Amino acid sequence: MRLKTFTAATMGEAMERVRQALGEEAVIISSQTVPNTGDVWVTAAIDHDDDDEDFAPAQSPGSAAIIEALNEHGAPLGFIDRLLDGVHASGANPAGAPEIALAGALEGRLRFAPVEDRPLRPVMLVGPPGTGKTVAAAKLAARARLAGLDCALISSDTARAGGTAQLAVFAQILKLELQTADGNIALAERTRAAAGRATFIDSAAVNPFDPAEMGALAGAAAAAGAEPVLVLAAGGDALEAAEIGRAFAAVGAGRMIATRLDATRRHGGILAAASGALALAELGASPTIGDGLAPANAATLARILLDRIGQPPTALPEARTNAPEAVS
């Protein structure tokens, strides 16, 4: 018995694709309609030559657990299909170790690139409102401090009332002087003065679908000579998250930090954003600086995705306690 998955806009279209590919003898194993999009995902099976590489092995309890988990997280259907192809190609046994099989597939479909303790360029945390950029900047600065590095913390979020207040508190805890930059000229001056130090910039929130705001963000990053790193909160719609990821990639972001994994249960949006041009850099599961960020990797992400919806999330075991003892 061999199986193959199909995605389509309607059940009728999916069934027609099944018949064209597998013939009238195909048996439908499972089907699901995605609430947000109405798309249909169908798995069909047929007796087939085991040497045919176009077909995946019959669905095992382990692969079923992976499929169920990814569907619960609201992962895009095409992404699920590609991951299942990866599980099949790896030769891993999802029945015996679904976490290992999923991790191997994620390794082949996503890129992982944690933020260095001492980045080669200033890191500018960017993103829509309310995603946790300020906390992410403080956590990265604290991690650099913990590594014994000289660090600079800069805020360019000066127009919003209270925009620097939270970061000023964090800077005081870390025994750092918070630098503020009102405009691109000041931002360039601050980053030049911080040359040789691990430098993290908390930027003002922007609307990813406003060309003027995104253009201004690109200009600020260029003035600072900084790498824009997207900070995106978990729990969002997958299609929306994918569009947000593409918008920030278009202005130079190559990595993203996923936050609020502790406060959400469905992480399909994070998968959608990371499956485009962005590498997944860090995972955050606490608003507390001392809890740190976990450098993203396939094993940790697989463990998070296989957590049951509605159950307490798995802790991020690789998150380092960022707050130095002297200032904790």
Instruction: Assess whether pLDDT exceeds 50 at residue 242.
Output: yes
Pick the closest to residue 193 from 204, 185, 203, 183 (CA basis). Answer: 185
Share of the chain above pLDDT 70, in %: 83
pLDDT for the residue 50: 47
Instruction: Assess whether pLDDT exceeds 50 at residue 1.
Output: no
Query: Which segment of 19-23, 102-106, 172-176 scores lowest on mean pLDDT?
Result: 19-23
Please state the rounded mean pLDDT for residues 312-320: 54
pLDDT for the residue 58: 45
pLDDT in tens, 268-307: 999 999 988 899 999 998 888 888 899 999 999 999 998 8
Q: DSSP characters for 99-157? A: HHHHHHHHHHHS-B-PPPSS-SS-EEEE-STTS-HHHHHHHHHHHHHHTT--EEEEE--
| pLDDT-derived band at 230, boundaries 50, 70, 90 | very high
Instruction: Assess whether pLDDT exceeds 60 at residue 125.
Output: yes
What are the strands of the beta sheet with 294-295, ordered from one edge?
A: 178-180, 151-155, 198-202, 123-126, 227-233, 255-259, 279-283, 294-295
pLDDT for the residue 308: 62
pLDDT for the residue 93: 57
> What are the boundaries of each domain within the chain?
2-109, 123-327
pLDDT for the residue 9: 82
Please state the rounded mean pLDDT for residues 321-328: 39
| pLDDT-derived band at 326, boundaries 50, 70, 90 | very low
pLDDT for the residue 113: 96
pLDDT in tens, 38-48: 777 787 777 65
pLDDT for the residue 53: 46
* CA distances from residue 323 to 66, 144, 328 in whole angstroms, order as listed: 36, 10, 6
Pick the closest to residue 20 from 33, 32, 6, 9 (CA basis). Answer: 6
Top mean pLDDT of 126-135, 162-171, 300-309 is at 126-135
Please state the rounded mean pLDDT for residues 168-188: 92
Please tell me the pTM assigned to this model. Answer: 0.79
pLDDT for the residue 219: 97
Are residues 310 and 265 in contact, defined by beta-carbon separation less than 8 angstroms?
yes
Helices (H), the chain: 11-22, 61-72, 77-90, 98-109, 133-146, 165-173, 184-193, 211-224, 238-249, 268-274, 298-305
Instruction: Assess whether pLDDT exceeds 60 at residue 309.
Output: no
Instruction: Assess whether pLDDT exceeds 50 at residue 259.
Output: yes
pLDDT in tens, 47-68: 655 444 444 444 455 577 788 8
Instruction: Assess whether pLDDT exceeds 70 at residue 157.
Output: yes
CATH topology of domain 123-327: Rossmann fold (3.40.50)
Please tell me which residue, 224 or 17, carries the higher pLDDT value: 224
Distance (Å, whole) CA 234 – CA 274? 12
pLDDT for the residue 144: 94
